[in-house]
Chain A
């Protein structure tokens, strides 16, 4: 029941607060998107990469990683750094795949050499990573992989097609799941750390989202050669490695801000929108239905915050995974519900696309609403999340 902070954690928190206050980033050269997976332009990328590097140098990123892999060697401090970064309202860290998926997976499954080679770039943000799991035929059914890897001496030859690859357009590396045997759906998979940018045979093609913006990509592999040294864990162990990645990805939502300060500011934004929007001659903030709807959001926001707190009090948790496994589901539906309510409150104004000079808040609400489906679909759809919670936590029979 150890919920008190250690001396190191307290000191670290104070340091982080001070550093963030003294090192507020300069204004971005152009409007930043809401999440890292929507970074589109080189201007945004360069700005965000420089910011991550600065945070990394200050010790706020990679806080809990061992020093020999480029980390700062603390224990339990990354959570605190994330909290403070959220609270300070600074820009997000761009290398989300590197930080919350590649690095933890390599730490657990990599050779000593792989850990020394790959983890530092994940943390500093100098090397941007992308995730090559999904394929046209392998979405929720992730193990249904077709992209093949065939051994050729010290190398592997990769052929296939990945889709929905966020940040693929800026990525130096990809965490890649391939099929190395057709005999066994789950045990025929192998995991690679595959070079992307400028690598022969790799072609990255942007895909356009429902917002009209690009953001993710499809990636084609044509006789792409990858050295065996870039294979992560054993041949045929790709499924287990991919599970490590998914677990880190879904657990990362705390870092991504779904549990913390973001919630409060979302409610503040909705209230100020309601206070400044006239509808049918009445301020939206005076409309009882709108007031009720905003309060419903406020209750969810506070509930998520207190869930995160309760998850650290074992005596108040019936099942250790019960609260943590809810984060992705509740976080993404919270954001979606807020955005949808924002659209409703803004009324006729939410018909305006961001290009329209009269669009309030640069068209934020309808764009946020459209974009919110990215989070309810990505990282395992929310239907799949409900399967997982029903099966792992409630013990109901498996869907598969």
Chain B
């Protein structure tokens, strides 16, 4: 990973990747058009919001997705996956975001990237399971919602040749659709990464009540979960997570880009059709210009997304810079078009029934996931400007002394 490597000119998005992306777009627009999505997840607010039922999803569609091999997109061919470029995966995830597909695909891809970074026999077996259709999710976030790999949510103790996990992992994405979790835990001075089946003894998943209608999220309570050696993925969890992090940011950014482009196109279509003052409202520049600005922001995010994906594929050490740029741009672009989409639709956009809120909320969720724009830029500044100086001598203007 240290040799000078170059990013391919087409970001690694060649004919195969284009074909896969186009196929994903066709399939999802056929199987999950807006009215179907609305019926599926947003028929009525009471079940999810009042009763706290988990967001429904189309398990039939999911089994077709598994049959297409999407769970194995980030798994090597040796382990039974398709091993396409990360830009190619980003292209498919954009379609997933565009159609706001409720599914465990993205958490499973995230788990794959972490397992790849871990390497080794245990990780290899889990990757093969994923390529075969198993689903997974990450349990790496603590109660404070910290995005630092060292802030592991769990405590591990060695007991009779096994590890025992205690603690609460928060914000576990699509936990109720996952077969197993990849959990990070502090073990003395080190960090371990373990695979835990979601039906393991001592593990209780508690559904969060969330706004987003296209996923579930859980707090995972570990109350003495035993993990055998055969399920310890890595004894250097922090390094593994740090190595995988840029890829995780790319996946969320891709989802954001796809959903944002959908909101843009939906609003543009509405602005061409809705007539007020004898003109389609898209004639008015207070409508037209913000839509152009949203397009510019989305395009910036998309270009940075493929750039980050290509850098990660090429094993460039500084890929973190590109990935944080992509997540910052994607989060901010999403915030902007989500806002304008509702506003420029007027009253209809504010209704539950119309359904704009589905993508809006998915974006809002993803904007926060793994850190919003401000968080990414704070990390970027440490990389590009250098850490804030802590030396007491630098804290004061030399001219003052």
- A positions within 8 Å CB-CB of B: 1, 3-4, 267, 271, 274-275, 278, 281-283, 285-286, 288, 291-292, 294-296, 298-300, 302-304, 306-307, 309-310, 312-313, 315-316, 322-323, 326, 329-330, 383, 386-387, 389-391, 393-399
Determine how close the nearest CB of chain B comes to the CB of A118; give it in whole angstroms.
36
Chain B residues, CB < 8 A from A294: 381, 384-385
Closest B residue to A313 by beta carbon equals B10
Q: Are B296 and A310 in contact (CB under 8 A)?
A: no
Chain B residues, CB < 8 A from A3: 9-10
Determine how close the nearest CB of chain A comes to the CB of B395; give it in whole angstroms.
7
Q: Are B329 and A299 in contact (CB under 8 A)?
A: yes
* Distance in angstroms between the alpha carbons of A294 and B384 in the assembled complex: 10
Q: Are B385 and A309 in contact (CB under 8 A)?
A: no
Chain A residues, CB < 8 A from B291: 390, 394, 396
* Distance in angstroms between the alpha carbons of A373 and B344 in the assembled complex: 29
Chain A residues, CB < 8 A from B5: none
Closest B residue to A301 by beta carbon equals B325
Q: Are B9 and A296 in contact (CB under 8 A)?
A: no
Q: Are A303 and B282 in contact (CB under 8 A)?
A: no
Please judge, given known A-B contacts A274-B385, A298-B384, A396-B268, whether A292 and B306 are in contact too, CB under 8 Å: no
Q: Are B377 and A295 in contact (CB under 8 A)?
A: yes
* Distance in angstroms between the alpha carbons of A294 and B381 in the assembled complex: 8
Known: A1-B14, A278-B398. 11 other contacts (CB 8 A): A278-B399, A283-B394, A291-B378, A306-B304, A310-B302, A312-B9, A326-B299, A386-B285, A389-B296, A395-B272, A397-B279
* Distance in angstroms between the alpha carbons of A282 and B390 in the assembled complex: 11
Interface residues of B in 313-347 (CB under 8 A from A): 322, 325, 328-329
- A-B CB contact pairs (8 Å), 12 listed: A1-B18, A3-B10, A4-B9, A278-B399, A281-B395, A283-B394, A291-B378, A294-B381, A294-B385, A390-B291, A394-B268, A397-B283
Q: Are A281 and B328 in contact (CB under 8 A)?
A: no
Closest B residue to A333 by beta carbon equals B296
| The one of B15, B380, B381, B400 that contacts A1, using a Cβ cutoff of 8 Å | B15
| The one of A278, A302, A397 that contacts B304, using a Cβ cutoff of 8 Å | A302
Q: Are A271 and B385 in contact (CB under 8 A)?
A: yes
Determine how close the nearest CB of chain A comes to the CB of B249; give it in whole angstroms.
13
| The one of A275, A291, A303, A393 that contacts B303, using a Cβ cutoff of 8 Å | A303
Q: Are B268 and A310 in contact (CB under 8 A)?
A: no
Q: Are B272 and A396 in contact (CB under 8 A)?
A: yes
In the complex, per-residue mask of B11-25: 1 if CB is within 8 Å of any chain A CB, else 0: 101110110010000
Chain B residues, CB < 8 A from A310: 11, 302-303, 306
Chain A residues, CB < 8 A from B288: 386-387, 390-391, 394, 396, 399
| The one of B15, B325, B388, B399 that contacts A299, using a Cβ cutoff of 8 Å | B325
Closest A residue to B22 by beta carbon equals A315
Chain B residues, CB < 8 A from A389: 292, 295-296
Chain A residues, CB < 8 A from B378: 288, 291-292
Closest A residue to B297 by beta carbon equals A303
Interface residues of B in 344-401 (CB under 8 A from A): 374, 377-378, 380-381, 384-386, 388-389, 394-400
Q: Residue B289 at the A interface, CB < 8 A?
A: yes
Q: Residue B256 at the A interface, CB < 8 A?
A: no
Q: Residue B235 at the A interface, CB < 8 A?
A: no
Please judge, given known A-B contacts A278-B397, A306-B304, A395-B268, whether A295 and B292 are in contact too, CB under 8 Å: no
Please judge, given known A-B contacts A291-B378, A386-B292, whether A302 and B397 are in contact too, CB under 8 Å: no
Chain B residues, CB < 8 A from A316: 10-11, 13, 91, 302, 306
In the complex, per-residue mask of B225-253: 1 if CB is within 8 Å of any chain A CB, else 0: 00000000000000000000000000000
Chain A residues, CB < 8 A from B209: none
* Distance in angstroms between the alpha carbons of A394 and B302 in the assembled complex: 17
Determine how close the nearest CB of chain B comes to the CB of A254; give it in whole angstroms.
15
Q: Are B377 and A291 in contact (CB under 8 A)?
A: yes
* Distance in angstroms between the alpha carbons of A204 and B397 in the assembled complex: 51
Q: Are A307 and B303 in contact (CB under 8 A)?
A: yes
Q: Are B13 and A295 in contact (CB under 8 A)?
A: no
| The one of B287, B300, B374, B398 that contacts A307, using a Cβ cutoff of 8 Å | B300
Chain B residues, CB < 8 A from A296: 377
| The one of A267, A278, A315, A323 that contacts B13, using a Cβ cutoff of 8 Å | A315
Q: Residue B312 at the A interface, CB < 8 A?
A: no
Chain A residues, CB < 8 A from B289: 383, 386, 390
* Distance in angstroms between the alpha carbons of A41 and B13 in the assembled complex: 49
| The one of A1, A298, A309, A395 that contacts B307, using a Cβ cutoff of 8 Å | A309
Determine how close the nearest CB of chain A comes to the CB of B332; give it in whole angstroms.
9
Chain B residues, CB < 8 A from A386: 285, 288-289, 292-293
Q: Are A295 and B381 in contact (CB under 8 A)?
A: yes
* Distance in angstroms between the alpha carbons of A281 and B396 in the assembled complex: 5
Closest A residue to B282 by beta carbon equals A396
Interface residues of B in 263-285 (CB under 8 A from A): 268, 271-272, 279-280, 282-283, 285
* Distance in angstroms between the alpha carbons of A329 and B374 in the assembled complex: 24
* Distance in angstroms between the alpha carbons of A386 and B292 in the assembled complex: 6
* Distance in angstroms between the alpha carbons of A252 and B282 in the assembled complex: 29
Chain A residues, CB < 8 A from B307: 302, 306, 309
Q: Are B306 and A306 in contact (CB under 8 A)?
A: yes
Q: Are B322 and A302 in contact (CB under 8 A)?
A: yes
Chain A residues, CB < 8 A from B287: 396
* Distance in angstroms between the alpha carbons of A313 and B305 in the assembled complex: 14
* Distance in angstroms between the alpha carbons of A1 and B11 in the assembled complex: 12
* Distance in angstroms between the alpha carbons of A271 and B384 in the assembled complex: 9
Q: Are A313 and B13 in contact (CB under 8 A)?
A: yes
Determine how close the nearest CB of chain B comes to the CB of A275; give it in whole angstroms.
8
Ranked 9 nearest A-B pairs via Cβ: A303-B300, A306-B303, A396-B282, A295-B377, A291-B381, A315-B18, A390-B288, A3-B9, A397-B283
Chain A residues, CB < 8 A from B10: 1, 3, 313, 315-316
Chain A residues, CB < 8 A from B11: 309-310, 313, 316
Chain A residues, CB < 8 A from B394: 283, 286
Determine how close the nearest CB of chain A comes to the CB of B24; give it in whole angstroms.
13
Chain B residues, CB < 8 A from A322: 295, 299
* Distance in angstroms between the alpha carbons of A275 and B387 in the assembled complex: 12
Q: Are B389 and A283 in contact (CB under 8 A)?
A: yes
Chain A residues, CB < 8 A from B386: 285
* Distance in angstroms between the alpha carbons of A206 and B341 in the assembled complex: 47
